[in-house]
Structure 1
């Protein structure tokens, strides 16, 4: 047997390997170890039987569908999939789909045991919508209804920016509803966008402030978890903190990147965790942890962002921040965040916190695609019969036989409930035999049999 190893216009090494393979399949004993020596190759175990295998296919991506192919514009944002520009009005609608499956990091934010879209995510959605219409200032944003994510169930989100008023301001509204549902949309947040020139860049020259006292952050997230704040790895961004009077300074870092975001919701949310440092062990939070609710069911230990005023985004894509939080009157705070070089990233003139009702955090029941899978008890009107026309029997068939032989034809026969006790199979068998005997009695065709149960429903 002769095989050529040199051919015109063919790679010498590939040609030689092909010739060796041809010789091998024709029965020649080829020493492959010599060929693969020095290439880093190794032997691998083969499956021991036909159905043993290892999966090498990549999982399907979790990204959004191609908006352009649907006649829309791509939003270019991790939380939003498409931009719709209505032909009949000067506005814009941004749409997206959220779930703990498509955005796993959202499951790391729980309040009172429910996965809650953080208030900082609504800020990010509104700022992205403002970019679409040239409005760089979020004058105000008020959260009206929490958006609760349940399991892998998807929620459709719409961010609507209306036409400008006479001053150039635009109303922005965020709605949501379960994906594929036909119910009403929930209005989660409403606010006002405006055009605004960028203020002079304020540089944070000294960090941390010379007179600020370090505040330990070790164990903070474990203590907060005991009080109803559930922050998973994606939201545990607070790494260091200091305090000076009514001001708190903090260092934040994202475990993952912030690509595609103006300001990542988990990073901005972590800035607010510094406010919880001094209250983590207070009696007020202890009461909240014990479920002592205030008026309207609010838990005084669970406070969440409620109203934002004067939000400006100075830079995008930050993955680490240095934050200065200034406490104002009541549950209000001023926030300024900078990158690690001291340049401004985001600022908030006023942020107001408020207690949240745990009753509002219960996820809505999922819509059912097929009503046949739902158990419903339908009321049935009772027949109007005189008391003298109803007889009562036990489950003994002898009593029914005596009734048939007596010639009495009552309108109704009630099988008395059997007292608890005894073997269930035997009791059911007695009822079954009675029903069979009833069905075999033509004389009782015009009478009605009622079987009464006891304790059959929880």
Structure 2
């Protein structure tokens, strides 16, 4: 389509610095319209929206705009919006917005009602002052005329909108009139006007959104409720919020979740020349690093680093306790405990037990009689303990009996009072109430607890607890303080290698990353779920030293591709308690650390009722099997932590709580432990006792693959060679496969081994550009890429755990030489990077050999790069030096 103001006056209704800027709601409408055309009539919702560059419609100059939707099946797709200026070079298309489309969830999303918003927002907004403030910043929005009245609350604004007659008709050509949504967004202008505690000099740009749902077309009269989530202290000028639109009857008509706003200073919102600031772009630089660096730094302190860190941490913990007013948790604790007991009592009565005195029965007999499903029997036992503490039941040996005691008060009444007295702690209170009200259905197996905790697949409720609550912010800040103390005192000099276990939504990562030295840090963001890794790549794009890899800490990390002793610092926040065997988990964590390396944990030292009533609804909460350490819940006491860390080879010290109950429902501890330095690293052991690797070499014609196989076999490793051909053949440990058939490659992998992990070296691309006259060889870049894809598909199809390494020669402009990159092999790096994003669990890395080196040297260098296990997955060798890819401005 063509965008110009004469054809679409709405495009001129949103101006910044005098320039017409296409507002965010227009992109939403474009995505919905394109989805209906490409994916079907819907309804659809838009998720993971990212606005990459503002689209400016300059006076008299139309722009050609394209919305590209890529189908992904099952009514899902991805979209991008591009534009090209009039008279511009046909190759100068700009990407403005990208996101994903999926079928809309059934029913309206849960959340704040119009009545809730009205009760909380009662301080009038000066609409004329707001209009003047926007005007002074060069922001002119025609929809401001629809902003009739507004009221503020704590971090939220409720606005009453009255739209002109022609804009309230819900014209059929729109799913949701962009002008109407632009008017609704003005509620955020009121919230953000002083969001950072001072007026923003420029203004805020909408740069993204997690989810947009349109439930019905709007009428003329609307209510717009904008609410901000607590901001991150380390990301000033960035705010996240939710927007909900209601009709006059209080019916929700649209919901916009996870709206991301970025503050911009005067003159930078729009650049009239169309240029982007130079520091928006990164370039790849090749940095030389030692070929065989030791992991241990020099001059380590004589005292254990745990002791060094603890010198200042107690004082910092006390200051953070005061800063975030954590005493409020203690004030709330007893009432929240009572609400949990009341919900437990109510659920058990709903299941059919009136708790009156009678015959005593075992917990299993009672659960079976009430229809409690087997997977929730441990949870049921915990609920009986809660009722025993409230004297509603009594335990007699292994049996239980009701006492007929006085019932608990109405839980919803307690919750309502808590929300009124402690609005800062709303996420914890509301999640407790939400799960408590559905407890009976969960116990029967009729309710999915994951839907309660992650409604609609959203992490909003749990992220509010783990990242934005006062407790989370305080303890993440304490972890940050611990890291800032440890790095200069215990890890001096050289590159610092950090691994975070179970990084999840990135709450702790966000706190720690800013205090790590950018130029000498490698940070491995790991989780058991690939979904978290994909989300983190987007979230932490500003930190180029991050790497993303799957890790299940309950399994041997070495079997998952991690080198023993490969890290200086391992971090785990609220993660390890979710494992079945804490001793085994800690042994695995210890195996990742070099001698003198440090383990930094944030863990609970007592399980609270509200946690059992929320996260305890999931089976994972009750996986613990080491009952000698934790007989009643997943949390370990401080003393148990000291004991088990000592058993597993750590020296440990714990930063204690500020006293029992000081934080009410937040008995957390920062645990700092280190590995003694006087021990032999696995990498120092003789080769004869090292664990042997298994290799598959997809060999080139030039002899590099043969050389690699020879070196590996002389070292005692198992290695098979695979040549491309026209049919499947095998002769001992040498195979021939059709490279166009992933099935051949999968079959070869199956026959070559016993299902153990493999390192697979792809060297077929080294022959790209050679005219060999043989099938499957010498057909240039296209053939090399298709063979690489086929090799990966074969690995994927085989189901065998393995890592694919793509080896090229002279494909990258690395080093000081003037030799241009080999165009036949360079595209393989694009293939590799794509695999790294889509399947990090099967990815090894990219190695670019020196085209000036001899075959034997190339073979040796390739093996060194693959076996280093330091996480570098983009390496080039030039003049005997090892170069690694780094992003730089």
Larger Rg: 1
Classify the secondary structure of the residue corresponding to 2:107. coil
Q: 1:322 aligns with which of 215, 223, 228?
A: 223
Report the Cα distance in structure 2 between the residues aligned to 1:281 and 1:205, rounded to whole angstroms: 24
1:224 correspondence with 2:134: yes
Q: How does 1:126-165 map to 2 (within 5 A)?
A: 126-132=31-37, 133-134=39-40, 135=42, 136-164=44-72
1:313 correspondence with 2:226: no
| Conserved 8 A contact 2:187-2:224 | no
Cα deviation code 1:156-190 (max 9, x no counterpart): 1111110215x753110001112454432111000
1:174 correspondence with 2:75: no
1:106 correspondence with 2:18: no
Report the Cα distance in structure 2 between the residues aligned to 1:188 and 1:313, rounded to whole angstroms: 22
1:244 correspondence with 2:153: yes
Q: How does 1:302-451 map to 2 (within 5 A)?
A: 302-330=203-231, 331-356=239-264, 358-359=267-268, 361-364=270-273
* Cα shift at 1:254: 2.6
| Conserved 8 A contact 2:29-2:178 | yes
Change in 2 beyond 3 A, CA 1:217/1:105: same
User: Structure 1: 5+ residue runs without aligned partners?
Assistant: 1-95, 289-300, 366-458
Q: How does 1:171-320 map to 2 (within 5 A)?
A: 171-179=78-86, 181-183=88-90, 184-200=92-108, 204=113, 206=115, 209-213=118-122, 214-232=124-142, 234-255=143-164, 256-257=166-167, 258-259=170-171, 260-277=173-190, 280=193, 288=201, 301-320=202-221
Report the Cα distance in structure 2 between the residues aligned to 1:352 and 1:205, rounded to whole angstroms: 23
Report the Cα distance in structure 2 between the residues aligned to 1:245 and 1:285, rounded to whole angstroms: 15
Change in 2 beyond 3 A, CA 1:286/1:247: closer
| Conserved 8 A contact 2:147-2:161 | yes
Change in 2 beyond 3 A, CA 1:273/1:179: same
Q: 1:120 aligns with which of 13, 21, 25?
A: 25
| Conserved 8 A contact 1:306-1:352 | yes
TM-score (norm 1): 0.51
Cα deviation code 1:11-30 (max 9, x no counterpart): xxxxxxxxxxxxxxxxxxxx
Report the Cα distance in structure 1 between the residues aligned to 2:244 and 2:191, rounded to whole angstroms: 20
* Cα shift at 1:269: 2.0
Return the structure number with greater helix share.
2
Change in 2 beyond 3 A, CA 1:239/1:176: same
Report the Cα distance in structure 1 between the residues aligned to 2:80 and 2:120, rounded to whole angstroms: 43
* Cα shift at 1:151: 0.7
Change in 2 beyond 3 A, CA 1:283/1:309: closer
Partner of 2:744: none
Change in 2 beyond 3 A, CA 1:141/1:227: same
Partner of 1:27: none
Classify the secondary structure of the residue corresponding to 2:203. strand
| Conserved 8 A contact 1:119-1:304 | no
* Cα shift at 1:359: 4.4
Report the Cα distance in structure 1 between the residues aligned to 2:129 and 2:247, rounded to whole angstroms: 25
Report the Cα distance in structure 2 between the residues aligned to 1:317 and 1:275, rounded to whole angstroms: 19
Report the Cα distance in structure 2 between the residues aligned to 1:278 and 1:312, rounded to whole angstroms: 22
Report the Cα distance in structure 1 between the residues aligned to 2:117 and 2:18, rounded to whole angstroms: 35
Change in 2 beyond 3 A, CA 1:307/1:272: same
| Conserved 8 A contact 2:200-2:263 | no
Instruction: Work out which structure has the larger RCO, using CA pairs closer than 8 Å and 6 or more positions apart in sequence.
Output: 1
Classify the secondary structure of the residue corresponding to 1:342. coil
Classify the secondary structure of the residue corresponding to 2:48. strand
Report the Cα distance in structure 1 between the residues aligned to 2:248 and 2:264, rounded to whole angstroms: 33
Report the Cα distance in structure 2 between the residues aligned to 1:268 and 1:108, rounded to whole angstroms: 13
User: Structure 2: 5+ residue runs without aligned partners?
Assistant: 232-238, 275-889
* Cα shift at 1:347: 0.4
Q: How does 1:74-113 map to 2 (within 5 A)?
A: 96-113=1-18
Report the Cα distance in structure 2 between the residues aligned to 1:142 and 1:364, rounded to whole angstroms: 23
Q: How does 1:6-45 map to 2 (within 5 A)?
A: none
Report the Cα distance in structure 1 between the residues aligned to 2:221 and 2:11, rounded to whole angstroms: 19
Partner of 1:455: none
| Conserved 8 A contact 2:193-2:200 | no
Report the Cα distance in structure 2 between the residues aligned to 1:151 and 1:317, rounded to whole angstroms: 31
How many equivalent residue pairs?
257
Cα deviation code 1:75-97 (max 9, x no counterpart): xxxxxxxxxxxxxxxxxxxxx21
